[in-house]
């Protein structure tokens, strides 16, 4: 038996209920993993509210770390007793243990703790595809990154610094801006106090940035487009403030032949070999110390509702984990 936090209908954080579930044995291509910690991400909020609809009742959670208890037929990259971590569909990481597909589960080096593993997989793999698999970004290029003091943002700040990329961040408080700068942002703009698109233009001598990485959505979309230089790339990869409203695609031409994409991590990691390669790069950066995983909030698994409330109120910095 394992405690699992489920929702039976879409709605607020109060929808979470604990349920004791039989776990069973893994089938072909599956593993059974006992979690030490699970990660918290905005995609969990989107699924809970119904922005990303799903069949209910269902457990939520897309990343976790723990110990492999059993492997099914055909699984060769993992064995019983391995330390492992993952970002993977289907949702279900908010639990003490589960049976799940093995392809996107990755071995976790001894040098990386279970909490770090649970906090870094979805966020770190997201940063990997943003910098390496979405549009060419070269040393010396300038990137604008929103929510730079969040879990993804702090990894992105360090990643950019390690690769010689100039990162301008935004955040909602002076404290969060200082945190982003401590982790590698050249400058971080408090978007509540400044006209941040104008400030971005000022910081780039009027040219604009090469790439915008925007997981905020509705509140920052127009300003993000206005922060790009001609031929720049807008990567819209989240909706923390709400979905981006419809817009006239001709605006991209008028603003300088801009490009725009709306990627998701799970497209990038769908192929087993690609996922393992991406995870290898992420883990190498963490093992080397180039990227440190900052965990600023911890909640017991059964307090996941409070964790969601804190995340939605934008009261978090760095990563948040649920402990078993």
pLDDT band, residue 306 (cuts 50/70/90): very high
Cβ pair 121, 292 in contact under 8 A? no
* Within a domain: 128: no
Q: Render pLDDT for 17-33 as a digit per residue (tens, 0 to 9).
A: 999 999 999 999 999 99
pLDDT band, residue 316 (cuts 50/70/90): very high
The parent domain of residue 302 ranges over 2-122+266-323
φ/ψ of 268, rounded to 5, equals: -70, -35
pLDDT band, residue 186 (cuts 50/70/90): very high
Residue where one domain finishes, among candidates 227, 245, 262: 262
117-139 average pLDDT score = 98
108-119 average pLDDT score = 98
Cβ pair 83, 65 in contact under 8 A? yes
Residue with tokens 């990137």: 143
Whole-number pLDDT of residue 177: 98
When the pLDDT of each residue in the chain is averaged and rounded to a whole number, the result is 97
pLDDT band, residue 216 (cuts 50/70/90): very high
Whole-number pLDDT of residue 9: 97
Q: Render pLDDT for 51-95 as a digit per residue (tens, 0 to 9).
A: 999 999 999 999 999 999 999 999 999 999 999 999 999 999 999
Our count of domains for the chain comes to 2
- Residue 1 to residue 19: CA distance in whole angstroms: 10
Whole-number pLDDT of residue 277: 98
Structure tokens that stand for 137 in this block: 């970004």
Whole-number pLDDT of residue 230: 98
pLDDT band, residue 104 (cuts 50/70/90): very high
Whole-number pLDDT of residue 182: 98
- Residue 311 to residue 318: CA distance in whole angstroms: 11
* Within a domain: 312: yes
For the four alpha carbons of 75, 79, 80 and 83, in that order, the dihedral sign comes to negative
* Within a domain: 281: yes
Whole-number pLDDT of residue 127: 98
Q: Render pLDDT for 248-267 as a digit per residue (tens, 0 to 9).
A: 999 999 999 999 999 999 99
Whole-number pLDDT of residue 132: 98
Residue where one domain finishes, among candidates 224, 239, 262: 262
Whole-number pLDDT of residue 185: 98
The domain spanning residue 305 has which CATH number?
A: 3.90.180.10
* Within a domain: 203: yes
The domain spanning residue 246 has which CATH number?
A: 3.40.50.720
* Within a domain: 169: yes
Same domain, 41 and 104: yes
Whole-number pLDDT of residue 307: 98
Helical segments of 169-218, H only: 174-182, 196-203
Same domain, 61 and 154: no
**Percent of the chain, pLDDT > 70?**
100
pLDDT band, residue 48 (cuts 50/70/90): very high
pLDDT band, residue 147 (cuts 50/70/90): very high
* Within a domain: 130: no
Structure tokens that stand for 69 in this block: 């208890």
- Residue 89 to residue 91: CA distance in whole angstroms: 5
User: What size, in residues, is the chain?
Assistant: 324
- Residue 186 to residue 143: CA distance in whole angstroms: 10
Whole-number pLDDT of residue 150: 93
Determine which helix (DSSP H) or strand (DSSP E) holds 296, and give its type and residue range: strand 295-300
pLDDT band, residue 129 (cuts 50/70/90): very high
**How far apart, in Å, do the first and last CA atoms of the chain sit?**
14
């Amino acid at each position: 038996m394992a405690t699992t936090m489920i929702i039976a209908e879409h709605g607020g954080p109060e929808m979470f209920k604990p349920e004791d579930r039989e776990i069973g044995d893994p089938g072909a291509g599956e593993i059974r993993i006992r979690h030490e910690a699970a990660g918290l991400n905005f995609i969990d909020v989107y699924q809970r509210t119904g922005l990303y609809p799903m069949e209910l009742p269902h457990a939520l959670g897309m990343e976790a770390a723990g110990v492999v208890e059993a492997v099914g037929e055909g699984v060769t990259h993992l064995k019983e007793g391995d330390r492992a971590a993952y970002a993977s569909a289907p949702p279900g990481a908010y639990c003490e243990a589960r049976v799940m597909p093995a392809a996107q589960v990755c071995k976790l080096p001894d040098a990386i703790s279970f909490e770090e593993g649970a906090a870094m997989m979805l966020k770190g793999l997201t940063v990997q595809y943003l910098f390496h698999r979405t549009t060419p970004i070269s040393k010396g290029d300038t990137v604008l990154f929103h929510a730079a003091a969040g879990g993804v943002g702090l990894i992105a700040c360090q990643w950019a610094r390690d690769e010689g990329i100039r990162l301008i961040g935004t955040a909602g408080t002076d404290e969060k801006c200082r945190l982003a700068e401590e982790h590698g942002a050249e400058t971080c703009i408090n978007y509540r106090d400044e006209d941040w698109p104008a400030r971005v233009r000022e910081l780039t001598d009027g040219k604009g940035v090469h790439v915008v990485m925007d997981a905020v959505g509705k509140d920052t979309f127009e300003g993000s487009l206005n922060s790009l230089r001609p031929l720049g790339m807008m990567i819209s990869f989240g909706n923390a403030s709400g979905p981006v409203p419809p817009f006239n695609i001709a605006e991209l031409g008028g603003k300088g032949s801009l490009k725009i994409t709306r990627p998701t991590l799970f497209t990038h990691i769908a192929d087993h070999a690609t996922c393992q390669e991406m995870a290898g790069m992420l883990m190498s950066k963490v093992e080397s110390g180039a990227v440190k995983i900052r965990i600023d909030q911890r909640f017991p698994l059964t307090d996941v509702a409070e964790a969601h409330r804190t995340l939605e109120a934008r009261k978090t910095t760095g990563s948040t984990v649920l402990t078993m």
